Amino acid sequence: MNERDRPRAGRRLGGLAPSCLPLLLTCLVACGAGEGELETDSEGEAAPEAIRIAVLMPLVDGDSLPNLEWALEGVNAAGGVAGRPLALDYFDPRVEDLYSLAAELAGDDEHVAVIGPAGSAALAEVADLFLEANKPLISTTSTSDDLLRAYGGKDVIWRTRESDIAQTELLVRYAKGGGAERVTLLTSLDIAGYTFFTWFGFFARELGFADDDVQIVTFASDSPCDAQLMEVLEDMPDMVIVAAGSPEQMDCVALGLPPPGAARPRIVFADTGFDPYALERHGALAAGLEGFTGAGDERFEEAYLERFPGERLSPHGPSEYDAVLLLAYGLERAGGRGGVALIEGMKDAVDGDEALAAVGPDADGIAATLAAMRAGGRPRLRGASGPLVFEPELYMDLASSTLAHYQLTEDGLALDLRLTTDDPTFLTSQGVFVRPRAAPPDVDQSAWSPAVAKTETWAVIAALSSGFSNYRHQADAL
């Protein structure tokens, strides 16, 4: 085995000769190639070298992520991309330092792209490394709008998720539609929770909540929630939306509430990337809690249950699957090349405007889509999370998403409603940021004058409203 193929801690080799693809999709040596030997296909000819993608994610159960492997299987069963198979190499940041691993992967020539890391904080830590290297980095979990502002339109950082701006609007609409008159946001102030903190008041005001009926209470991600929860309960709003910064905070809220049946507000957990099924272990104490979790295309979810009977689809399962599809379609467009060619290939792929080649993201759908591309077509793309439509010009994030509502009972967690942000009535449907009105307010007739004459003033910020009605624009001006 040469040095290039030597396994390291946190690494698993991938890739196969095409003749072995249906059986073993990620092991270079499984087809009988000994040390120092070249892989060959069934006719004894040298097999094409695999195109390698690094996965920079924690590995909890086993040495791979099943949704990535499932998508990889479909791509390779369709002949791979640009005549070559795909392979995944896994790097666990809990085994080696995240930043060091990311720096190595950003600079190597072995991997054309990287999937990961987990969460917005980790993505913020390493994103610049990949920006400098022009190597695509695909996050399956990050949803912070701060990162969208920082990297949107720079084409290197991609996320197979939608920013939490739209989820914040969905949550406020859910509260309004559910009859809540007084609503509170209980949120962490880490990079993930800050999106909810930033946008909640704006959407509450825009959707008709009175300023006095909206409260925001914050807590640190690494601290107990008891004091903040008591503050919320003393005010007794109709609904509390919780944007937890950790699984421990979800537990803290669930266990700190009055028991079911006692007077308490409705508690609704935002989807902040943590597994809601973990709340089931609290039994009757968790009964009545609600929340939202990421949902996939309904065909994909049905196929998942057939493929993995008895297992629950993880909150990030669809976005993991889509990360492989996004790279596969981009590589097909790029002729298997990385760097700038791959970046342009991904943009070209998601800009496809012809009819879908298939209705689903299963193996047949992947094969049909790749075949259409090879024939010169530009089909629209569909992934496990739905249409793979990205924000115009920014590209970084999906333009819409679907969330499933759940409720906890004594029998466990039950999913019911499916809500989508792909709704023309949403304010965020106008674009990733809520845009100002087409015309400014008419203030020509204003008779207001400053109470005190100002001298030596080098800038003036005009705040022509109060409360939440225009606070985002005031903050932007400041």
Alpha-carbon span 166 to 292, nearest angstrom: 13
Tell me: pLDDT of 345 over 70: yes
Q: Does 349 map to a domain?
A: yes
Q: Which residue has the tokens 């596969």?
A: 328
Alpha-carbon span 62 to 73, nearest angstrom: 18
Q: For residue 62, what pLDDT is reported? A: 76
User: Half-sphere exposure (CA, 13 Å, Cβ side) for 18?
Assistant: 19
126-159: per-residue pLDDT in tens?
A: 999 999 999 999 999 999 999 999 999 999 999 9
Say if CB 169 and CB 422 are below 8 A apart: no
Q: Does 356 map to a domain?
A: yes
Q: For residue 185, what pLDDT is reported? A: 97
216-262: per-residue pLDDT in tens?
A: 999 887 777 889 999 999 999 999 999 998 889 999 999 999 988 88
Residue 117, preceding peptide bond in cis (omega within 30° of 0): yes
Q: For residue 321, what pLDDT is reported? A: 97
Q: For residue 61, what pLDDT is reported? A: 76
Task: pLDDT band for 15, please (50, 70, 90 cuts).
Answer: very low
What's the whole-model pTM score? 0.82
Alpha-carbon span 363 to 71, nearest angstrom: 8
Cβ count within 10 A of residue 443: 9
160-203: per-residue pLDDT in tens?
A: 999 999 999 999 999 999 999 999 999 998 888 899 999 999 99
* Phi, psi dihedrals of residue 378, rounded to the nearest 5°: -130, 65
Q: Does 125 map to a domain?
A: yes
Mutual orientation of helices 194-206 and 164-177 as an angle, nearest 10°? 40
Total domains present in the chain: 1
Task: pLDDT band for 449, please (50, 70, 90 cuts).
Answer: low
Q: Which residue has the tokens 């699957």?
A: 321
At a CB cut-off of 8 Å and minimum separation 6, what does 118 contact? 57, 58, 93, 141
3-state secondary structure of 71: helix
Say if CB 119 and CB 146 are below 8 A apart: no
Say if CB 352 and CB 358 are below 8 A apart: no
Q: Does 296 map to a domain?
A: no
- As a whole number of angstroms, the longest Cα–Cα distance in the chain is 90
Q: Does 422 map to a domain?
A: no
Tell me: pLDDT of 467 over 60: no
β-bridge partners, 333:
none
Q: What is the dihedral of CA 331, 337, 338, 344, to 10 degrees?
A: -60
Q: Does 131 map to a domain?
A: yes
Q: Does 287 map to a domain?
A: no
Give percent above pLDDT 90 in the chain: 66
Q: For residue 433, what pLDDT is reported? A: 54
Average pLDDT for residues 263-277, to the nearest whole number? Answer: 93
Say if CB 26 and CB 72 are below 8 A apart: yes
The amino acid at residue 141 is T
Alpha-carbon span 303 to 55, nearest angstrom: 24
User: CATH code at 81?
Assistant: 3.40.50
Q: For residue 225, what pLDDT is reported? A: 86
Q: Does 121 map to a domain?
A: yes
Average pLDDT for residues 41-52, to the nearest whole number? Answer: 77
Tell me: pLDDT of 447 over 60: no
Tell me: pLDDT of 469 over 70: no
DSSP 389-402: -B-TTT-SSBS--E
Q: Which domain holds residue 59?
A: 3-141+316-386
As to burial, measured by CB atoms within 10 angstroms (0-12 exposed, 13-18 middle, 19+ buried), residue 272 is buried
DSSP one-letter code for 47:
P
50-104: per-residue pLDDT in tens?
A: 999 999 999 877 788 999 999 999 999 999 999 999 999 999 999 889 999 999 9
275-301: per-residue pLDDT in tens?
A: 899 999 999 999 999 999 999 889 999
DSSP one-letter code for 345:
H
User: Half-sphere exposure (CA, 13 Å, Cβ side) for 226?
Assistant: 1
Tell me: pLDDT of 8 over 50: no
Average pLDDT for residues 327-333, to the nearest whole number? Answer: 98
Say if CB 432 and CB 148 are below 8 A apart: yes
Q: Where are the alpha helices (DSSP H) in 207-336?
A: 226-235, 247-256, 298-307, 317-333
Say if CB 19 and CB 42 are below 8 A apart: yes
Say if CB 63 and CB 71 are below 8 A apart: no
